[in-house]
Amino acid sequence: MLLADLIREMPEARLIGDPQSTFTGVAYDSRAVASGAIFVAVQGMKADGHKYLAEAAAGGASSLVVQRDHESSLKAVLADLRLPALVVPDTRAALALIAAAVYDHPARRLGMIGVTGTDGKTSVSHLIEHILTGSGLLTGLITTAECRIGSHLLADTGRFTTPEAPELQAMLAEMAQAGCQWAVVEATSHGLALNRLDACEFDIAAATVIGRDHLGFHGSLDAYVGAKARLFEMLGDTNDKGIIRTGVINADDPWCERFRGAAASRVVTYGLGDLADVRAEAVVETAWGSQFRLATSVGSATVEITKPGLFSVSNALAACGVCLAAGLDLSDIVRGIATWPGAPGRMEVIDEGQPFTVVVDFAHAPEALERVLNALRGSSRGRIIVVFGCLGEREHERRSGMGLVAAAKADYSIVTDDNPYTEDRDGIIGQIVSGLEAAGRRRGHDFEVVPDRRSAIAQGLAMAVDGDVVLLAGKGHETFVHLADAGYECDDRVVARAVLKDLMGLRTAT
């Protein structure tokens, strides 16, 4: 691609050097520069790409992109490297635009659906994909749990739910090449704030429930919600694909009007209240799920979902609103909701024939844990035993908050590792314990501390009896526990199945 062609798509960019220079790819990590790539110097969390221009050039970069506020300090370096350079207002925004251009704007060849929120966005994304696929539409999926086209898994995105723009655009290009009609993308606040989702040209945007999260990064709840609202603003930046651009908003959420005001499109609301456009009426909770009357502008139907809790009903309504906006028939949507097996590690039941229920869920913040425990209480004939920890490198307040929720909503708690990352695992556990003890819970009587997660799971399952529910919370689909100095393999689902098989074998033997 010629730099001259690229700058026509970036009117705010200024070129230093030959506009006929070419590049063959895009990179933002100097260690991963391929020969002929354009290197975009991005300010990261721990390192600034502007300090690695020489390394990028040595690695074979054919041109550079630098941020305007760094230009004066880089004049000597740029002159010495003798490579053409683009000077832009924001290199993160430029990275997304360049990545889209490199892959020939794949989002323009796809129906694009973005799902944001604090809790539920992974489940809603997977449910939307299931409904679209069940309706005969080849669909791509990019979420925390997995990235795939149909059943074909794509590259792992590591710790990032929303990949950096080059990886994201590469996935979208693969989807377009495969003939996908739709792509469903989980849109995180980080991904939105850091411009990773720019140039995705969303046609439909949806928001689930909003809580407090990532405030250490965003600085305030208002800024966090503002990042989520960007998804709805981006509906105004989409080329016409023959799809009516639509914002699907949770009428039961306090931030509904904030998103409505941001939406550069028509708005469809969903919820349990009478004023929602897509709503659930006469909700009846079943043994492990709910039945309700779905009311929409195009008709009504009886719906069953095999996931417990009102939040699962809300997720189904969100998916319904999106799929109606995508032009699906109501009958296909109802069938899709009823047949959905669930998202990996989200209210996932582990059944090895044991006389108690084992559930794996990703709930790793106080509000999410409370919602799950409330749902399980309605389905439990016995005690609720919860095995959980709390993430490192996040707000410290959520740790005691997790303890307070477990104290109020569970009968017995086992506190263990989640992902401490660079923090001291014992310090995190101690803060969770402070919440349990503040609520009057006693160690050895109401809770126990077992740092190794595999051992904690084994202990929780071993103490369960007929009718109990054991919730393994926080890790969901994840398969590794990250400690400050190392870590260990732990897929809650795999560990639980192995322990249950041993326990059931012992029961059979006796």
Report which DSSP code applies to 283: E
Q: Let me know: does 388 contact 429? Beta carbons within 8 Å.
A: no
Q: According to the model, what pLDDT value does residue 147 have?
A: 95
Contacts of 204 (CB under 8 A, 6+ apart): 111, 112, 113, 114, 243, 245, 246, 247, 248, 322, 325, 326
Task: Give the per-residue pLDDT at 160.
Answer: 58
Task: Note the pLDDT of residue 507.
Answer: 63
Average pLDDT for the chain? 95
The token pair that represents 377 in the structure block: 């209480």
Superfamily of segment(s) 348-509: Mur ligase, C-terminal domain (3.90.190.20)
The answer to whether residues 206 and 321 touch, using CB atoms and an 8 Å cutoff, is yes
The burial of 489, by beta-carbon neighbours within 10 Å (0-12 exposed, 13-18 middle, 19 or more buried), is given as: exposed
Which residues 6+ apart lie within 8 Å of 100 measured at CB?
106, 107, 165, 169, 198, 199
pLDDT of residue 177: 98
- Partners of 359 in beta bridges: 349, 471
Residue 78 is predicted with a pLDDT of 94
| CATH match of 3-101 with 3.90.1300.10 | no
Give the alpha-carbon dihedral of 9, 11, 12, 16, to 10 degrees: 80
Query: Which class for 487: exposed (0-12), middle (13-18), buried (19 or more C-beta within 10 A)?
Result: middle
pLDDT, tens digit (0-9, with 9 covering 90-100), for 219-233: 789 999 999 999 999
Grade residue 24 by pLDDT with cuts at 50, 70 and 90: very high
Say if residues 115 and 184 touch (Cβ distance below 8 Å): yes
Residue 363 contacts residue 475 (beta carbons within 8 Å)? no
Q: How confident is the model at residue 21 (pLDDT cuts 50, 70, 90)?
A: very high
> Is 256 a residue whose pLDDT tops 60?
yes
- φ, ψ for residue 49 (rounded to 5)? -60, -20
The answer to whether residue 6 scores a pLDDT higher than 60 is yes
Cβ neighbors of 218 (< 8 A, separation 6 or more) are 189, 193, 224, 227
- The pLDDT confidence band at residue 509, using thresholds 50, 70 and 90, is low
pLDDT band at 287 (very low <50, low <70, confident <90, very high): confident
- pLDDT band for position 242 (50/70/90)? very high
Please report which helix (H) or strand (E) contains residue 371, including its range.
helix 366-377
Length of the chain: 510
105-339 and 3-101 share a CATH fold: no
Query: pLDDT tens-digit profile of 361-389?
Result: 999 999 999 999 999 998 888 999 999 99
Q: What is the pLDDT of residue 380?
A: 85
Check pLDDT > 70 for residue 217.
Answer: no
Residue 181's closest CA among 141, 210, 125? Answer: 141
**What local confidence, expressed as pLDDT, does residue 508 receive?**
65
Structure tokens at 136: 């005969």
Residue 175: pLDDT over 80: yes
- 348-349: strand order across its sheet: 348-349, 357-361, 469-473, 384-388, 412-415, 447-449
pLDDT in tens, 301-337: 999 999 999 999 999 999 999 999 999 999 999 999 9
**pLDDT tens per residue across span 399-445:** 999 999 999 999 999 999 999 999 999 999 999 999 999 999 999 99
Q: Where are the alpha helices (DSSP H) in 25-106?
A: 53-58, 71-81, 91-102
Alpha-carbon distance 249 to 262, whole Å?
11
pLDDT of residue 5 exceeding 60: yes
Residue 490's pLDDT is what? 98
Q: Domain coordinates of the chain in residue numbers?
A: 3-101, 105-339, 348-509
Q: What is the pLDDT of residues 493-508, one digit of tens each?
A: 999 999 999 999 876 6
Instruction: Report percent pLDDT > 70 for the chain.
Output: 96
Confidence of residue 264 (pLDDT cuts 50, 70, 90): confident
The pLDDT of residue 428:
98
Cβ neighbors of 486 (< 8 A, separation 6 or more) are none
Tell me the fold of 105-339. UDP-N-acetylmuramoyl-L-alanine:D-glutamate ligase (3.40.1190)
The answer on pLDDT for 134 being more than 70 is yes
